[in-house]
A and B are shown apart, each in its own frame.
Chain A
Amino acid sequence: DTGVSQDPRHKITKRGQNVTFRCDPISEHNRLYWYRQTLGQGPEFLTYFQNEAQLEKSRLLSDRFSAERPKGSFSTLEIQRTEQGDSAMYLCASSFGTVNQETQYFGPGTRLLVL
C-alpha cells in the first residue's frame, strides 16, 4: 500500500497523559500536513512541513502540541498533558511540489479519546 499511513488508528488515554501519533506520507511527497477533525466539522489545519522544515502552525496548536519531521519523511504529533477537549480525529495528509494547487492525500486518521 503506497498511501498515507497513520499509527495508531485509535487511542484512548486518561486526561493528563501524553500521546504521540505517527504519520508516514506517500514516499515521494515532500509536504506533510496535520489536521484535526471534530464531530460535525470539516478538518481544521494544525501545521505543515516542507521536507523537515515546519513552515506554519495554526493558532489551534497550543504549546501542549508539538510536531516533528526530523528526516523529512515520517512525522510525529505529540500532545502533552491531554485534555478532554483534545478528543478528535487527527488526520495527516501529504502532497508533492513546491507551489500551491497541489492535491493533498489523506491518511486514515488517528481517533483520540481523552477520558
Chain B
Amino acid sequence: DQQVKQNSPSLSVQEGRISILNCDYTNSMFDYFLWYKKYPAEGPTFLISISSIKDKNEDGRFTVFLNKSAKHLSLHIVPSQPGDSAVYFCAASGWVDDKIIFGKGTRLHILP
C-alpha cells in the first residue's frame, strides 16, 4: 500500500518552460513534505520542503504547493534548465513517525 504516490514515471519539458511534478499521499498523519532530486549513482539531494501549516514554499526557481484537502502536492521549477534533468522524489513524514516515506520518483527530462 503506497502512502506516497508519484503517478508520472517520467516527464519531458522544454528548456525555459515550467516543469510541474505531482505527488499524492494517503496518510492524513503526514505533516511534513519534502522533494529530493537524484542523479544516477548519487544519493538523493534535498531540494525543498513544506510543513502542513503552509500551502506554498518558494526557494529560487523551486516552489512547492500543498493542497491538504486533496492530499496533493506539486513541485514547480521555473524556468527549467538542462541541469534539472534527474529523478525527483516526493517524500513525507508525520509527527508520530520519524521515518520518511518516499514515492517511486518521476524522471524529468529537460529538452534543449
Residues of A within 8 A of B (CB): 4, 6, 31, 33, 40-45, 48, 55-56, 58, 91, 93, 100-101, 103-109, 111
Contact = CB atoms under 8 A, between A and B. Distances in A.
Contacts of A106: 36, 43-46
A42 B105 contact: yes
Contacts, number: 64
Interface in B2-59: 4, 31-32, 34, 36, 41-46, 49, 51
Interface in B84-109: 89, 91, 93-95, 97-105
What interface size band does chain B fall in? 20 to 34
Given A48-B98, A101-B32, A106-B36, A42 B91 contact: yes
27 contacts: A31-B98, A42-B89, A42-B91, A42-B102, A42-B105, A43-B89, A43-B100, A43-B102, A45-B101, A48-B98, A56-B98, A56-B99, A58-B99, A100-B94, A100-B95, A100-B97, A100-B98, A101-B93, A103-B46, A104-B100, A105-B46, A106-B36, A106-B44, A106-B46, A107-B43, A108-B41, A108-B42
B41 A111 contact: yes
B49 A103 contact: yes
A71 B110 CA distance: 44
Contacts of A42: 4, 89, 91, 102-105
